[in-house]
Amino acid sequence: MESVLLVSNGIRCSTLPASYVRPEPERPKLSEVAHFFNAPIVDLGSADLSLMARQISHACHHYGFFQVINHGVAMESMDKMLDVTREFFNLPVEEKMKLYSNDHTKTTRLSTSSNLHKEKIHNWRDYLRLHCHPLDKFVHEWPTNPTSFKEIVSNYSKEVRQLGLRLQEVISQSLGLEKGYINSSLGEAGQHMAINYYPPCPEPELTFGLPAHTDPNTLTILLQDTQVSGLQLLNDGQWLSVKPVPNAFVVNIGDQLQALSNSKYKSTWHRAVVNSERARISIATFLCPSNRAVIKAPAQLIEDQSQPIYRDYTYAEYFDKFWSRNLDQGHCLDLFKNIG
Q: Round to whole Å and give the CA distance between 290 and 318.
A: 12
Q: Round to whole Å and give the CA distance between 28 and 42.
A: 29
Q: How far is the CB of 55 from ligand OGA (least distance, A)?
A: 22
Q: Round to whole Å and give the CA distance between 128 and 152.
A: 15
For position 7 contacting ligand OGA by CB under 6 A, the verdict is: no
For position 255 contacting Ni ion by CB under 5 A, the verdict is: no
CB 326 within 8 A of CB 115: yes
Listed ranges 121-129, 147-155, 209-217, 275-283: which one lies at the site for Ni ion (CB under 5 A): 209-217
Q: How far is the CB of 247 from ligand OGA (least distance, A)?
A: 17
Among 67, 207, 282, 285, binds ligand OGA (CB under 6 A): 282
For position 285 contacting ligand OGA by CB under 6 A, the verdict is: no
Q: How far is the CB of 144 from ligand OGA (least distance, A)?
A: 24
Other beta carbons within 10 angstroms of residue 104's beta carbon come to: 15
Q: List the interface residues with Ni ion, window 213-252 (CB under 5 A).
A: 215
CB 190 within 8 A of CB 287: yes
Classify residue 135 by its DSSP letter.
H
Q: List the interface residues with ligand OGA, window 155-214 (CB under 6 A).
A: 194, 196, 210
What is the chain's alpha carbon radius of gyration, rounded to the nearest angstrom? 19
Nearest to 284 by CA among 243, 223, 231, 228: 223
With contacts defined by CB under 6 A, how many residues of the chain interact with ligand OGA? 10
For position 231 contacting ligand OGA by CB under 6 A, the verdict is: yes
Binding mask 24-53 for ligand OGA (x = CB under 6 A): ------------------------------
Q: In the beta sheet, which residues pair with residue 69?
A: 43
For position 230 contacting ligand OGA by CB under 6 A, the verdict is: yes
Establish whether the linkage from the previous residue to 200 is cis, with ω within 30° of 0: no
Residue ranges in contact with ligand OGA by CB under 6 A? 194, 196, 210, 215, 230-231, 270, 272, 282, 284
